[in-house]
Structure 1
Amino acid sequence: MKRHGARAAASFAALVLWAGCRPAEDGEEDAAAAAVEAPAQTCRVVRQGLSLPEEVRETSGAALDPLVPEVFWTVGDSGTDPVLYAVTADGALAGRVAVAGARNRDWEDVAIGPCPGGDCVYVGDIGNNQNSAGNEVVLYRAPLPRPQDAATRPAEVFRARFPGGGRDTEAMFVAADGGVYLVNKGQRDDIELWRWPTPLRPGPVDLVRVRVLAPEPQQPGDAVTGAGASRDGRWVALRTYGRLALYRTADLLGSGEAAFSMDLAPLGEPQGEGVAMRSDGTVLLTSESGEGALPGRAAWLQCPLR
């Protein structure tokens, strides 16, 4: 693993999300100790271990429907159909909606956000990018469907590239102003926040790096696997396999730290992947089934926002 200077190490600890994943270098102890005192709180677990339908064993992202409060949307990972699954809050399948004109190479996240004409669903075909030809990621956008629809309207397709080489990426969120952001996983790279140039156009275009969030994690469980923004635009949730962090949006897009974070290990997720949140601090987590034929899982949290 590459070594990092004191400034990067202090920022790394201050993020809390990845704090404690590397030993401090000489002279870093005081800065790191102060940094890890950033607020860490526990969200109230409303429900955990909720089984998802068989069709979404490989859930890789989640988005809360703004028009049907009891429904969330999820997508399958690579090798599954190009389909949006509508799921009720208690885990029942509410709909199966094909994304018209789309292909699922490696769908890794889904978001709902503004677009010309109203609300749209955004699907990020962004995974395993360092192994893909042409270093491209693909974004699909379509008007938000209803759970009972058979298919979306024809999806718009936007293509982009990571400058300087691919990044394995699983996290995407759409801000209240329609901006699209990616956070790469941190597999063999620093964890970075990227912005899709706007207005969206077919491309391919070069993604813009906003900031480095943390140096490359030294533990696999600290890789970033999902992101979601609150509809009021004030908050963004980032998750790894084992931890949840909530950022004020202005802090995340600037140079600030997470407002607080939570250890997700007690939830016993097989493979934590998706996260979505409401403006009132309600957070949804989804997990793939892991090994074997177990169903995917979901958990609902209530997090303090202030």
Structure 2
Amino acid sequence: MSILIQTLFLCIPLVYAAHFDNGHHTGTVTSSQITEASGICASRTHKDVLYTHNDSGDTHRIFAISATSGARLATIYINGAHSQDWEDIACGPCTGGSGHCVYIGDTGGNAGGDANTIYRIREPSSIHDQSVNVDGSLEFSWDQHDCETLLVDPRGEVYVVSKVGPGHHGKFVHLPASAWNQHHHVWVSDGVYLPITASSNSPVGGDISPSGTELLLKTYGHVYYWSIPDQNYEAHIHTYPEAQPYHPERQGEAVCWKADNSGYYTLSEGANSVLFFHRRI
């Protein structure tokens, strides 16, 4: 995992738009099981519950944590999934709109190369330590080496954004729904390059709002915002985003919207990481 570098520049001056407040500490993740929180998403089924996971080196599990305290509420093992380098997690509808699902991206470049596999599970009906089965998997190949951003829109469509080195632009790609459960890697060649020029390896996380009309991407030093009123992400992602308030973190890689669209959370890797919430104003 890259050393924390606080700055990522745009090709234009940064202007903070008055969308969200400066944020407050809403909890601390003290569980000894969660030491490298690499992604985060807000449950669509359980109020004030967030899902997170560790970076490479952990096993096939995710965690439910409290959005109001950071306490671990449950450890959820995923039968049928493999953990090579899990980098991001997203909450959204299951494919076809049949209930609520959680998506996990095994897309990182650590641990011997990219698995480039998305796992989908159905949200558990209750929050307690348990094992669940994989509901679906999507394997893909592309011309990018590393990816730490997984996005799911309100239609259950899945997107990834490549993580790139200094001087390069990440690539935003839609993964075809037809690739689910094919049991082989499907090549994806289309995509749109971001207008952000990286000065560190980035982006490292992101989320599409539950409404589908807003998108966040996170780097080690900033949170960037796009308004997508028509939910045509490829048509808008090439435009310059607005930088939003952000508390500098040790190695902050996780960002997600609150389920009611009222703001966004950020969380860093490391033991006893602080959960921040930025409220919409």
SS in 1 for 2:127: coil
Structure whose alpha-carbon radius of gyration is higher? 1
The structure-2 alpha-carbon separation of the partners of 1:130 and 1:197, relative to structure 1 and needing over 3 Å to count, comes to farther
Mapped contact 2:50–2:66 kept (Cα < 8 A)? yes
Of 152, 163, 166 in structure 2, the residue corresponding to residue 174 of structure 1 is 152
Once the two structures are superposed, the pairs formed by residues 116-195 of structure 1 within 5 Å of their partners are 116=96, 117-128=98-109, 132=113, 136-145=115-124, 146-162=126-142, 164=143, 166-187=144-165, 189-195=168-174
* CA deviation map 1:58-115 (0-9, x unaligned): 0000010112121100011111121110000111111101011111100000111112
Measured in 2, the distance between the counterparts of 1:186 and 1:223 equals: 6
Q: How many residues align?
A: 263
Mapped contact 2:221–2:248 kept (Cα < 8 A)? no
The normalised TM-score by structure 2 is 0.84
Paired residue for 1:298? Answer: 275
Of 190, 194, 208 in structure 2, the residue corresponding to residue 209 of structure 1 is 190
The normalised TM-score by structure 1 is 0.78
SS in 1 for 2:33: helix
Mapped contact 2:15–2:242 kept (Cα < 8 A)? yes
Paired residue for 1:29? Answer: none
Paired residue for 1:235? Answer: 214
Backbone CA RMSD of aligned residues: 2.5
Give the structure, 1 or 2, with the largest relative contact order (CA under 8 Å, sep 6 or more): 2
Paired residue for 1:81? Answer: 59
- Which sections of structure 2, spanning at least 5 residues, go unmatched? 1-7
SS in 2 for 1:109: strand
Mapped contact 1:242–1:263 kept (Cα < 8 A)? no
Once the two structures are superposed, the pairs formed by residues 263-278 of structure 1 within 5 Å of their partners are 263-264=245-246, 267-278=247-258
Identity of aligned residues (%): 23
Is residue 41 of structure 2 the alignment partner of residue 59 of structure 1?
Answer: no
Stretches of 4+ aligned residues off by more than 6 angstroms: none
SS in 2 for 1:214: coil
Question: More helix per residue: 1 or 2?
Answer: 1
Is residue 27 of structure 2 the alignment partner of residue 50 of structure 1?
Answer: yes
Deviates more, 1:37-46 or 1:62-71: 37-46
